[in-house]
């Protein structure tokens, strides 16, 4: 209770002193402002950039390995038998083959010849349940390649189907009549080719239907789903050995036959790059903070020598040395915290502008804010200590006599 009162009084004394030396306090604070703003700004920009890249990765599939298997001349793509072998690998939850091509769609009098056609299977939608905004996805009976059902995106609806309510609409795709059973959610995070103006939209149909349209007999892309408790790197190794068996290739030429994309390991690489960049840039920016701290120390020393007589008087009136020290320490902490606060705000503004220029999503990093506040308080303590100690050690007689 007593010490709370003392601290409260010291803070109000500190504020009135800062107020009565506005210009000097502001210039001193500027060092801390610049230091904290650059630390916060740089770290926030790095985290925003890496964060939005990570979000894209995540939307492409966390918990997913993607196998790209062109195969060899003798063994092209992945047969149903190969897919079954992969599905049997330890740690695999499910697999989802996919294929893609492009084609021409006709509806009423509209002919669109730049339609992206993606082939998926039912499993894909089970693992990406936000893909459909209305309607439904394929059921097992529709996966045989004999049923012509389609899921379309909003671009396709507006470009080809004339913007009408699309569910149940029938249109012609590469010569076959398809019925719309679902509408795809707009993809905001992944900028795909569908957003370019010369594309008429995307149609998703069962993958066997795609294989029927294109010349390929087998799928060459397979998404492998696994649960959280499976180590993706180990799973990748197991899959590689199975694929090497399927294609009868060795380590030397496996790259030509297949490749596995592991989002999780890409993401962990990305996050370690982020940590390294943050640390490095933050470290460079803290040099500005150090300079700011020296500025605070300088101002506090000037303040102590200017107020020597006041210190002497306070001592004559019964102020303990520790109380004088506390008063000056709190003054320097107040000063640097004020600078720190302005710096945090400024840093976030800089980061928001930077994120905007770099075309990424601005993310407030609470860690960086905490770091900024902690740094500035620390600077106040470290660089205020010596001047405060000096003030507390003044001899009251000499102090009172000084002019």
Partner 1 sequence: MGGETLHVLKNIDLTVNQGEYLAILGPSGSGKSTLMNIIGCLDVPTSGEYWLHGKRIAGMDETELSHIRGSEIGFIFQSYYLLQKQTAAENVELPLLYANVPDRQRKARVREVMDLVGLSDKMYHYPNQLSGGQQQRVAIARAVANHPSILLADEPTGALDQRTGEQVMRLFHELNDEGNTIIMITHDSKIAAHARRIVKILDGVISEGVLADA
Q: Which is nearer to partner 1, 381 or 400 (CB)?
A: 400
Binding residues (CB under 8 A) for partner 1: these are 2, 5-6, 9, 16-17, 20, 309-310, 313-323, 396-397, 400
Cα separation, 323 vs 304, whole angstroms: 14
Report, in Å, the least distance between residue 11 CB and partner 1. 14
Cα separation, 103 vs 141, whole angstroms: 24
Report, in Å, the least distance between residue 321 CB and partner 1. 5
Q: Which is nearer to partner 1, 11 or 377 (CB)?
A: 11
Cβ atoms 311, 351 nearer than 8 A? no
Listed residue (116, 129, 142) closest to 209, CA to CA: 142
Q: Which is nearer to partner 1, 382 or 400 (CB)?
A: 400
Q: Which is nearer to partner 1, 85 or 309 (CB)?
A: 309
Q: Which is nearer to partner 1, 17 or 44 (CB)?
A: 17
How many C-beta atoms surround the C-beta of residue 159 within 10 A?
20
Report, in Å, the least distance between residue 342 CB and partner 1. 24
User: Quick one: tokens of 24?
Assistant: 């000097």
Cβ atoms 86, 222 nearer than 8 A? yes
Q: Which is nearer to partner 1, 133 or 395 (CB)?
A: 395
Cβ atoms 131, 186 nearer than 8 A? no
Report, in Å, the least distance between residue 27 CB and partner 1. 20
Listed residue (237, 268, 276, 221) closest to 58, CA to CA: 268
Q: Which is nearer to partner 1, 80 or 320 (CB)?
A: 320
Q: Which is nearer to partner 1, 15 or 172 (CB)?
A: 15
Report, in Å, the least distance between residue 356 CB and partner 1. 45
Q: Which helix (H) or strand (E) holds 13?
A: helix 2-20
Report, in Å, the least distance between residue 288 CB and partner 1. 32
Report, in Å, the least distance between residue 5 CB and partner 1. 7
Q: Which is nearer to partner 1, 252 or 403 (CB)?
A: 403
Cα separation, 74 vs 71, whole angstroms: 8
Listed residue (144, 143, 179) closest to 161, CA to CA: 179
Listed residue (106, 218, 121, 201) closest to 155, CA to CA: 201
Report, in Å, the least distance between residue 327 CB and partner 1. 11
Report, in Å, the least distance between residue 330 CB and partner 1. 15
208 φ, ψ to 5°? Answer: -70, -30
Q: Which is nearer to partner 1, 316 or 358 (CB)?
A: 316
Report, in Å, the least distance between residue 302 CB and partner 1. 17
Burial string for 239-274 (b: 16+ CB within 10 Å, else e) reads bbebbbebbebeeeeeeebbebebbbeebeebeeeb
SS in 3 state form for 303-327? HHHHCHHHHHHHHHCCCCHHHHHHH
Listed residue (6, 8, 14) closest to 303, CA to CA: 14
**Residue 186, C-beta contacts closer than 8 angstroms, at least 6 positions apart:** 133, 153, 154
Report, in Å, the least distance between residue 3 CB and partner 1. 10
**Residue 134, C-beta contacts closer than 8 angstroms, at least 6 positions apart:** 167, 182, 183
Q: Which is nearer to partner 1, 1 or 357 (CB)?
A: 1
């Amino acid at each position: 209770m007593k010490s709370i009162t003392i601290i409260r009084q010291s803070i109000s004394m500190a504020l009135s002193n800062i107020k009565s030396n506005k210009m000097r306090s502001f210039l001193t604070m500027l060092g801390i402002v610049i230091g904290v703003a650059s630390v916060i700004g740089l770290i926030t920009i790095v985290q925003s950039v890496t964060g939005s890249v990570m979000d894209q990765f995540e939307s492409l599939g966390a918990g997913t390995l993607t196998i790209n298997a062109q195969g060899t001349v003798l063994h092209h793509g992945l047969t149903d038998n190969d897919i079954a072998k992969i599905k049997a690998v330890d740690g695999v939850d499910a697999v989802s083959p996919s294929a893609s091509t492009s084609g021409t769609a006709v509806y009423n009098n509209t002919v669109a010849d730049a339609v992206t056609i993606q082939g998926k299977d039912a499993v894909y939608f089970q693992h990406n349940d936000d893909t459909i905004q209305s309607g439904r996805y394929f059921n097992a009976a529709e996966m045989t390649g004999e049923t012509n059902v389609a899921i379309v995106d909003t671009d396709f609806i507006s470009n080809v189907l004339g913007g009408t309510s699309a569910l149940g609409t029938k249109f012609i795709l590469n010569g076959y009549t398809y019925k719309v059973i679902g509408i795809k959610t707009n993809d905001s995070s992944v900028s795909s080719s569908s957003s370019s103006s010369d594309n008429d939209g995307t149609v998703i149909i069962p993958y066997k239907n795609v294989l029927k349209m294109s010349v390929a007999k087998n799928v060459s892309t397979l998404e492998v789903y696994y649960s959280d408790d499976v180590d993706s790197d180990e799973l990748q190794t197991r899959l590689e050995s199975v694929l090497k068996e399927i294609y009868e290739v060795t380590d030397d030429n496996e790259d030509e036959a297949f490749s596995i994309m592991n989002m999780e390991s890409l993401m962990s690489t990305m996050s370690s790059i982020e940590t390294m960049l943050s640390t490095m840039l933050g470290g460079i920016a803290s040099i500005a903070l150090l300079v700011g701290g020296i500025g605070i120390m300088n101002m506090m020393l000037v303040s102590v020598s200017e107020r020597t007589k006041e210190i002497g008087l306070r001592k004559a009136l019964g102020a303990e040395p520790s109380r004088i020290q506390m008063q000056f320490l709190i003054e320097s902490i107040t000063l640097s915290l004020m600078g720190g606060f302005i710096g945090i705000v400024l840093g976030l503004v800089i980061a928001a502008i930077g994120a905007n220029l770099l075309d990424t999503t601005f993310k407030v990093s609470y860690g960086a804010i905490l770091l900024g506040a902690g740094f500035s308080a620390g600077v106040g303590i470290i660089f205020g200590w010596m001047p405060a100690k000096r003030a507390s050690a003044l001899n009251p007689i000499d102090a009172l006599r000084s002019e």
